[in-house]
Structure 1
Amino acid sequence: MASPSLKIKIPVSDLVEKNILLYFSAHWCPPCRAFLPVLTEAYHEIKKNGNVLEVVFISSDSDQASFDEFFSTMPWLALPFGDKRKESLKRLFKVRGIPMVIAIGPNGRTVSTEARKLIMSHGAEAFPFTAERLKEIEAAPEKMAEGWPKNSKSEEKNQ
């Protein structure tokens, strides 16, 4: 892994027992460029709340210059441009299109292959991107409504 600000290599072992997002993306991809600010905002919010999260950018750019330009806008790690592990990861996670975000839990298991959708819908609240967390988010409006009157006055008039 490489760090954008320090241009240093980080061993994969530094990611053990952390929540990880694998961010498959590319500079040439308009939806990827549109999603990047959303992901960046969620990332900063998650980290601000004291959560352990690392994002790893896995580029589909065709040249080093494009990779460098896009990666320079990111506050997280990246698989180095041209790293052969990219193809293995794309096969493993069945990446057919980008942007795609895969969430991996601290135990090293895949938590969600739909993390992009969760981030687009719920932002940082989706962390840690588990099915349990999604159920909590979806149940929140129902819990808020508990104790509210079943019918409003306008509904009663229409009946």
Structure 2
Amino acid sequence: MMTRNLPQWLAYLEQLHPSTIDMGLQRVAEVAARLHVDRPAPLVITVTGTNGKGSTCAALEALLLACGRRVGCYSSPHLLQYNERVRIAGQMVADADLCQAFAAVEQARAEISLTYFEFGTLAALWLFSQAGLDVVVLEVGLG
């Protein structure tokens, strides 16, 4: 497999988008099972709704960090750089870590089509599962 830097991975993900979108979760669940990321931390908090998901995730993350918990947080969209979407212990993950996660998802998905968001979510879950977290805060993709 070709080694890619983060801008190359993101360009690849943008062109990867399937021509039709399958709204079910079966594809994502299959890749998650292959990656063993269905339980990235003992506690997973999923934030849903129409408005305020990002603010709620940020507040939960700050509260949990202040309580001494090791926290992973996934939100979207990013404002300036993709790394903003994935934070571990209050810090954005490094480009190299994202590239490693994208490579893991690419290998695990094989023939399964994924959207940009699904691919990124699975990469975040993979990173979280490697990090020994107490809590993961996940923002859902749709309100």
TM-score in terms of structure 2 length: 0.31
TM-score in terms of structure 1 length: 0.29
